Chain A
Amino acid sequence: MNFKNLFITALRALNRNKMRSALTSIGIIIGVSSVIMMIGIGNSARIAVREKIFTYGANAMSVYDSKKPLTLRDVENIDRLLPQVRYISPFVYKSYVLTKGGGQFIYSRLYGVNNDFFKIKSWPLTNGRYFTEREIAASEKVVIIGNSVRTELFGYTNPVGEVLNVDGLPFKIVGLLTEMGQALSGRDFDNVLIVPHTTAAMKIMGKRTFDEIYVSTYSETEIDETVEQLKEYFRRTHVILPGKMNDFKIKTSKEKLQMVKYISNTLSILLAGIASISLFVGGVGIMNIMLVSVSERTREIGIRMAIGAKRRDILTQFLIESVTLSGAGGIVGMLLGLGVYYLIIFFVDWPFIFSFFSIIVAFFFSCAVGIFFGYYPARKAADLKPIEALRYE
């Protein structure tokens, strides 16, 4: 019997029990659609978080949590000693600063930096300009504001040139940062005031030391080496004996990326694992129905054998039935999964990533489930003896 005829025979059999066939496929539909959905959401989350981390700055690292103060001397030394350092900026911050302007007020985070900071973070301006050398040297009261500060205080007008009262002091707005959006933690990246580090240190914090030093290299490959050299530098200047712990910390964008990658991979595996369980349950459902079907159709099998069906013909017919159930379930599940995935992505505004690979894998996997769970019932059917099957009531 050729394959086409077997296929037609199998389709007719499934067609005779439409409702049962559809219900049997639901297990696979749910399994495959959740696999597709989970993988999709995992991919999108990874990209979304990755983009956020790049706002932290590509090839960037920072020295922080230092027990000994970080100074302008450190900044100058590092800049001189490490030629691969492209940008370097001091960093001081105050997390809760009362900001008044346009008759409104808001509490914002305040960063004190130099112009390199914008390069390290890849934070472009929408309006205005960066600081001038003179403004930094003279600790002038100029500020570049984030988009949330603008919208809260000035609405959608251009704020450049306006005066802003920061912590009781009048600052002139010279620039407006391009909107960055929220972090996954819900923190608003745009509620930020950026002033020259000299101004922050002298006029607001009243100190000459820095909280962190930001550094970025020309290329990603130089990150590890730079981290090592920074450690060496600070161990030397902080006079830490060999074998003693560092009294400072260094974080890199690479570490963050790796962490996010690790978390999202773990999540993906976990979710795909859960989805596979439903695929497995779907497979057991198919096996169950196929067993029922075989015993219901014992007489039919007997008739087919009596008039010349070989064992292989019976085996193939029932395998095709189970694979058709699981394969059709796989296709429907794929479409459903993509649909739900697209819907979710649409609402949380993450990028839609069409993974052709995961779709192919999910489809073949569902067919494989059909073969795996369909084999035992099909084998049972093929092993029936013609006379016994014919006598079966």
Chain B
Amino acid sequence: MVNNLIEISDLYKIYPISEEISVHALQGVSLSIKRGEFVSIMGASGSGKSTFMNILGFLDTPTTGRYVLDGIDGSTLNYDEKAEIRNRKIGFVFQGFNLLSRTSAIENVELPLLYMGGITTREMQDKARKYLGMIGLAGREHHHPSELSGGEQQRVAIARALVNEPAIIFADEPTGNLDTKNTEDIMNLFTSLNQDLGITIILVTHEPEVAEYTKRKVIFRDGHIIEDSPVKKRKKAGMKKR
């Protein structure tokens, strides 16, 4: 048992289209990620990076291959056990924010705790408030997503990903819908989460500038990893106070 948080070996994902034709989204991917890493996964669309992320996040299952997260072998888990892993060990941040509409920020952040069980309403609210404060949205707990800017919505989504104190955060194009200013803010936030809280973050992006914030860059093409290297000229988190 090594210190690796994620252990992937020889992962294949094949989508059968018809009897003869099938799409090989992943063709023998192997990768290991240690605790506390900040990894960006890059690649053109169709390169298999999204499929890879879905498998990493227990949202999808590989056709063959081995995936171990925090010592848990994904192939041994049934549907509900995967849901439980997503709930306790993983935080998701999506491109489209994926907040519940017509639901206040604090209720959105509480959501993972709702499915966790063994936690009082009081504790849920306290935690949600704490993380909303941490990402700089204190005082806006009762705003609905439609009353928040894109950057603010993504912050709420990050607070939601943090509230269950996950081992790892998966962010799928988290800045894809944001302008430069907000992209910078969000990336600074991720950087400090990684640095200050030691949270492992894996981030899918196709923007090289975004990848510059991370410590390690993994590039996909046609279902293979074609490059896996540390980021040399890292952008440093801004000095802005939040």
Instruction: Indicate if the CB atoms of B114 and A310 lie closer than 8 Å.
Output: no
Instruction: Indicate if the CB atoms of B59 and A387 lie closer than 8 Å.
Output: yes
Residue interface bits B96-130, CB-to-A below 8 A is 1, else 0: 00111011000100011011110001000000000
Instruction: Indicate if the CB atoms of A308 and B54 lie closer than 8 Å.
Output: no
Query: Which has the most chain B C-beta neighbours within 10 Å: A9, A12, A307, A311?
Result: A307
- Please name all residues of chain B whose beta carbon is closer than 8 Å to the beta carbon of A222 when the two chains form the complex: none
- Please name all residues of chain A whose beta carbon is closer than 8 Å to the beta carbon of B88 when the two chains form the complex: 308
Instruction: Indicate if the CB atoms of B117 and A303 lie closer than 8 Å.
Output: no
| Interface of chain A: mostly helix, strand, loop or mixed | helix
Pick the residue among B86, B102, B117 that contacts A307 (CB under 8 A): B86
The answer to the question of B44 belonging to the interface, with a C-beta cut-off of 8 Å to chain A, is no
The answer to the question of A16 belonging to the interface, with a C-beta cut-off of 8 Å to chain B, is yes
**Cα–Cα, bound, A305→B164 (Å):** 15
Pick the residue among A2, A307, A310, A386 that contacts B160 (CB under 8 A): A307
Pick the residue among A300, A306, A312 that contacts B92 (CB under 8 A): A306
Measured CB to CB, the closest approach of chain B to A392, in angstroms, equals 11
- Please name all residues of chain A whose beta carbon is closer than 8 Å to the beta carbon of B164 when the two chains form the complex: 307-308
**Cα–Cα, bound, A1→B111 (Å):** 10
- Please name all residues of chain A whose beta carbon is closer than 8 Å to the beta carbon of B116 when the two chains form the complex: 1, 308
Task: Give the bracket for the number of chain A residues in contact with chain B.
Answer: 20 to 34
Measured CB to CB, the closest approach of chain A to B85, in angstroms, equals 8
The answer to the question of A309 belonging to the interface, with a C-beta cut-off of 8 Å to chain B, is yes
Measured CB to CB, the closest approach of chain B to A137, in angstroms, equals 91
The answer to the question of B87 belonging to the interface, with a C-beta cut-off of 8 Å to chain A, is yes
Which B-chain residue is minimally distant from A17 (CB atoms)?
B102
Task: Give the bracket for the number of chain B residues in contact with chain A.
Answer: 20 to 34
Given the interface contacts A303-B100, A307-B160, A308-B84, does A390 sit within 8 Å of B112 by beta carbon? no
Which B-chain residue is minimally distant from A312 (CB atoms)?
B80
Instruction: Indicate if the CB atoms of A311 and B80 lie closer than 8 Å.
Output: yes
Given the interface contacts A311-B80, A386-B59, does A306 sit within 8 Å of B114 by beta carbon? no
- Please name all residues of chain B whose beta carbon is closer than 8 Å to the beta carbon of A12 when the two chains form the complex: 103, 107
- Please name all residues of chain A whose beta carbon is closer than 8 Å to the beta carbon of B102 when the two chains form the complex: 16
**Cα–Cα, bound, A312→B112 (Å):** 15
- Please name all residues of chain B whose beta carbon is closer than 8 Å to the beta carbon of A300 when the two chains form the complex: 100
Pick the residue among B87, B100, B103 that contacts A308 (CB under 8 A): B87
Measured CB to CB, the closest approach of chain A to B173, in angstroms, equals 13
Instruction: Indicate if the CB atoms of B112 and A307 lie closer than 8 Å.
Output: yes
- Please name all residues of chain A whose beta carbon is closer than 8 Å to the beta carbon of B80 when the two chains form the complex: 310-312
**Cα–Cα, bound, A387→B83 (Å):** 12
**Cα–Cα, bound, A5→B121 (Å):** 9
Given the interface contacts A387-B59, A390-B59, does A309 sit within 8 Å of B115 by beta carbon? yes
- Please name all residues of chain B whose beta carbon is closer than 8 Å to the beta carbon of A304 when the two chains form the complex: 111, 115
Which B-chain residue is minimally distant from A12 (CB atoms)?
B103
Measured CB to CB, the closest approach of chain A to B2, in angstroms, equals 27
Instruction: Indicate if the CB atoms of B59 and A1 lie closer than 8 Å.
Output: no
Which A residues contact B (CB, under 8 angstroms)?
1-2, 5, 9, 12, 16, 299-300, 302-313, 386-387, 390
Query: Other CB < 8 Å A-B pairs besides A12-B103, A300-B100, A307-B164, 12 of them?
Result: A12-B107, A303-B99, A303-B100, A304-B111, A304-B115, A306-B59, A307-B111, A308-B112, A310-B83, A310-B115, A312-B80, A387-B60
What are the 3 closest A-B residue pairs judged by CB atoms, nearest first? A308-B87, A308-B115, A310-B80
